[in-house]
């Protein structure tokens, strides 16, 4: 009988873990599965809740990180330790309805390699989040060769072949949505309406979302570097044309060169553009620097897994 490994990244989810697991059990009552909780350095009692579930449910396994390494690291850890022929990824806050898992499994049996959830609305979310999300998808898809599906989530079920393909990409700077698209394979998208958290509050701020978006763009396109070169040529050409205009004006009309304010504005504008372009270059160098250090993507503090799967870590 095929085994479904369900990866559940958790960060400060003490109010939702038990409720989530109860709903998951109701949904997968006839499915052979293991539940892999990845505690991403939670500061509350999330680990105690997970440990309690593991003590009373032999199909519950967990890993607890030594600190908060981020959701991307938690996803990667879950993929590494999963052993099932099918691998699922779901959040613990019940914004990903467990009921869709059965539909996803059925899609895999129909011949798809991946069955993933796609939100068709962002009902209940702040307007700035909705606008920011729409802008991000349009910008990303316009400058990257990897195309993201608007509303796509990490919530999905994959075959072992797809899972192993993602695991082989062991880069430090990770953007899972992009990696899932980059490996290819045939995907069935399952639409659902946005659902509010069952309890607690989201730990994602607007600043976190902006940083996550920048990280995603840098990970999957070098177009900003090319645009900086093009912008440099455009500004240089405009400056040369303006210089010719000043020379011709002086020769024809003996008009003395004026414009202290214009000069200052031009200097400030060019200085600002240089700082922006240096910043873009710096972000790419930052990624390269982080990769060359070859530090571990995560560090395990505690686990109830004692089999060979940890040899991969």
Tell me which of 194 and 259 has the higher pLDDT: 194
User: Is 100 contained in some domain?
Assistant: yes
Indicate whether 55 and 181 sit together in one domain.
yes
Rama region for 291: left / alpha / beta (φ>0; ψ in -120 to 50; rest): alpha
Q: What is the pLDDT of residues 10-25, one digit of tens each?
A: 998 888 888 889 888 8
Indicate whether 63 and 164 sit together in one domain.
yes
Instruction: Average the pLDDT over 175-199 and give the result.
Output: 82
Compute the distance between CA of residue 55 and CA of residue 136 in angstroms, rounded to an integer: 42
- The pLDDT score that the predictor gives to residue 272 is 76
| Structural domain count of the chain | 2
Indicate whether 160 and 106 sit together in one domain.
yes
Indicate whether 53 and 109 sit together in one domain.
yes
User: Is 282 contained in some domain?
Assistant: yes
257 band by pLDDT with thresholds 50, 70 and 90:
low
- The pLDDT score that the predictor gives to residue 30 is 85
Indicate whether 267 and 302 sit together in one domain.
no
- The pLDDT score that the predictor gives to residue 306 is 75
- The pLDDT score that the predictor gives to residue 4 is 92
Indicate whether 308 and 195 sit together in one domain.
yes
Domain enclosing residue 233, as ranges: 223-293
Compute the distance between CA of residue 255 and CA of residue 49 in angstroms, rounded to an integer: 80
8 band by pLDDT with thresholds 50, 70 and 90:
very high
Indicate whether 280 and 301 sit together in one domain.
no
User: Is 120 contained in some domain?
Assistant: yes
Compute the distance between CA of residue 142 and CA of residue 176 in angstroms, rounded to an integer: 19
Helix (H, G, I), strand (E, B) or coil at 188: strand
Which of 24-28, 35-39, 277-281 is predicted least confidently? Answer: 277-281
User: Is 144 contained in some domain?
Assistant: no
User: Is 210 contained in some domain?
Assistant: no
Indicate whether 184 and 256 sit together in one domain.
no
Residue 46 pLDDT > 60: yes
135 band by pLDDT with thresholds 50, 70 and 90:
confident
200 band by pLDDT with thresholds 50, 70 and 90:
low
Q: What is the pLDDT of residues 67-105, one digit of tens each?
A: 988 888 999 999 998 888 999 999 888 888 888 999 999
Which of 166-170, 174-178, 242-246 is predicted least confidently? Answer: 242-246
Neighbour count for residue 228 (Cβ, 10 Å): 16
Compute the distance between CA of residue 158 and CA of residue 85 in angstroms, rounded to an integer: 9
Indicate whether 249 and 156 sit together in one domain.
no
Q: What is the CATH number of the domain that holds 196?
A: 3.90.550.10
Residue 273 pLDDT > 90: no
Tell me which of 235 and 18 has the higher pLDDT: 18
User: Is 214 contained in some domain?
Assistant: no
User: Is 132 contained in some domain?
Assistant: no
Which of 11-25, 131-145, 197-211, 238-252 is predicted least confidently? Answer: 197-211
User: Is 276 contained in some domain?
Assistant: yes
Indicate whether 56 and 173 sit together in one domain.
yes
38 band by pLDDT with thresholds 50, 70 and 90:
very high
* Residue of 49, 65, 55, 57 lying closest to 33 (CA atoms): 57
Indicate whether 269 and 304 sit together in one domain.
no
287 band by pLDDT with thresholds 50, 70 and 90:
confident
- The pLDDT score that the predictor gives to residue 204 is 60
Instruction: Average the pLDDT over 130-145 and give the result.
Output: 78
Indicate whether 10 and 157 sit together in one domain.
yes
Calculate the average pLDDT of the chain. 82
């Amino acid at each position: 009988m095929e085994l479904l490994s369900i990866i559940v990244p958790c960060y400060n989810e003490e109010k939702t873990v038990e409720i989530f697991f109860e709903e998951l059990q109701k949904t997968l009552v006839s499915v052979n599965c293991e539940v892999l909780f990845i505690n991403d350095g939670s500061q509350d009692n999330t680990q105690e809740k997970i440990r309690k579930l593991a003590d009373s449910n032999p199909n519950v396994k967990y890993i607890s990180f030594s600190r908060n390494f981020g959701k991307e690291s938690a996803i990667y850890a879950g993929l590494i330790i999963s052993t099932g022929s099918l691998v699922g990824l779901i959040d613990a806050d019940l914004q990903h309805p467990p009921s869709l898992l059965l539909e996803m499994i059925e899609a895999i049996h129909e011949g798809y390699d991946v069955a993933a959830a796609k939100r068709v609305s962002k009902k209940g979310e702040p307007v700035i989040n909705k606008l920011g999300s729409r802008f991000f998808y349009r910008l990303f898809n316009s400058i990257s060769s990897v195309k993201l599906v608007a509303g796509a989530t990490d919530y999905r079920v994959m075959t072992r072949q797809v899972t192993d393909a993602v695991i082989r990409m062991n880069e430090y700077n990770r953007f899972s949505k992009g990696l899932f698209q980059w490996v290819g394979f045939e995907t069935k998208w399952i639409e659902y309406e946005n659902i509010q958290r069952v309890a607690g509050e989201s730990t994602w701020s607007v600043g976190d979302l902006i940083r996550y978006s920048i990280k995603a763009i840098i990970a999957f396109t070098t177009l900003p570097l090319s645009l900086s070169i093009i912008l440099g040529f455009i500004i240089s050409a405009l400056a040369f044309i303006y210089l010719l205009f000043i020379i011709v004006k002086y020769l024809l009309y003996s008009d003395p060169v004026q414009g202290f304010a214009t000069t200052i504005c031009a200097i400030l504008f060019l200085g600002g553009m240089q700082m922006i372009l240096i910043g873009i270059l710096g972000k790419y160098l930052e990624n390269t620097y982080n990769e060359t250090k070859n530090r571990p993507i995560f560090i395990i503090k505690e686990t109830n897994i004692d089999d060979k799967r940890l040899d991969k870590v």
